[in-house]
Amino acid sequence: MSEPAEASRAITVRFHGALNDFLPAERRDVTFTHVLQGSPSAKDLIESLGPPHPEVDVILVNGVAVNFSHRMEAGMHLIAAPAFHPVEVPEPALRVGPPLPDLPRFVLDVGLGRLAGFLRMLGFDTLWRNDFEDDELARISHDESRVVLTRDLGVLKRSEVVLGYFPRATEPSEQLVEVVRRFALTSRMHPFSRCIPCNGPLAIAEPHAVKDQVPEGVAERHTCFQQCPDCRRVFWPGTHHQRMEAIVDALRAREQTSPPRDLAEPTREPEPPAPARPGT
Domain ranges of the chain: 3-81, 106-193+238-257
The closest alpha carbon to 247, from 127, 124, 122, belongs to: 122
Q: Quote the CA–CA distance of 263 and 22 in Å, as a whole number.
A: 12
Q: Mean pLDDT throughout 65-84?
A: 95
For residue 205, CA distances in Å to 201, 202, 210, 214, 238 come to 13, 9, 7, 12, 16
CB-neighbour burial class of residue 17 (10 A; exposed 0-12, middle 13-18, buried 19+) = buried
Cβ 85 vs Cβ 262: under 8 Å: yes
pLDDT at 11 over 80: yes
SS3 category, 142: helix
Fold for 3-81, please state it: Ubiquitin-like (UB roll) (3.10.20)
Cβ 43 vs Cβ 61: under 8 Å: no
pLDDT at 246 over 90: no
Cβ 169 vs Cβ 182: under 8 Å: no
Q: Quote the CA–CA distance of 159 and 213 in Å, as a whole number.
A: 47
pLDDT at 145 over 60: yes
Cβ 41 vs Cβ 70: under 8 Å: yes
| pLDDT value of residue 221 | 82
For the ranges 27-31, 94-98, 135-139, the lowest mean pLDDT is seen at: 94-98
| pLDDT value of residue 162 | 95
Phi, psi dihedral angles at 41 (to 5 degrees): -70, 160
pLDDT at 165 over 80: yes
User: Which position has the higher pLDDT, 253 or 178?
Assistant: 178
Q: Quote the CA–CA distance of 241 and 276 in Å, as a whole number.
A: 8
270 DSSP 8-state letter = P
pLDDT at 207 over 70: yes
| pLDDT value of residue 265 | 38
For the chain, what's the residue count?
280
Q: Quote the CA–CA distance of 93 and 179 in Å, as a whole number.
A: 26
| pLDDT value of residue 146 | 97
